[in-house]
Amino acid sequence: MISKNAASNEVVDVAEMLDVCWLEIQGKFEISKLTPRIKYEVVFVVMLKDPAYGWEVPINVRLILPDGKIQEHKECLIETPRSKWLEIPVGEFMVEPTKRGFVEFSLYEYEGGAWKKGLMVKGASIRPKH
C-alpha cells in the first residue's frame, strides 16, 4: 500500500495487515554504521485504521543488543487513536567505538491467537536520542 506523508508530501510504501492471527516483524542493523558515543533509540512507526480488531492482547516489542542483552516490553494498542501515525518505542542503546555487531528489533504477538486487522506499518526508525 502507498501512503502520503502529510507533513512532507512524501509518498512512502507501507505494509497493511488485512487479516492475520500471527504477527511478527523483525529487523536488524549493523551498529558500526552509526556514530560512536551517541545514544540511539529504536521505534516502530505504525497506524491502526478502521476497521481494526483483534488488539485486545498487547503486542511485544524487543531489542537485542550485540552483546546479547535484551530490552523487551508490551504495548497495548486497543485504545490507540485510529488513522494517526504513532511511534512504538522499542529500546535504546549506546554505540561504543570498539563494538561491532547488529542490533535486532522486533514487534510480535502470536500467543493470543486472535485474528487481527487494521495495522499499517511504515517502518522502524533508528535515530539519536535527545
How many residues belong to the chain? Answer: 130
Of 73, 123, 66, 62, nearest in space to 94 by CA = 66
Question: Has residue 10 got a pLDDT over 70?
Answer: no
Query: What is the pLDDT at residue 3?
Result: 44
Q: Which domains does the chain have, with CATH numbers?
A: 15-128 (2.60.120)
Query: What is the pLDDT at residue 99?
Result: 85
Question: Has residue 90 got a pLDDT over 50?
Answer: yes
The DSSP bridge pattern shows strands 2-5 and 86-94 to be unpaired
Model's pTM, two decimal places? 0.87
- How far lies 8's CA from each of 11, 46, 81, in Å? 9, 17, 22
Half-sphere exposure of 47 (CA within 13 A, CB side): 15
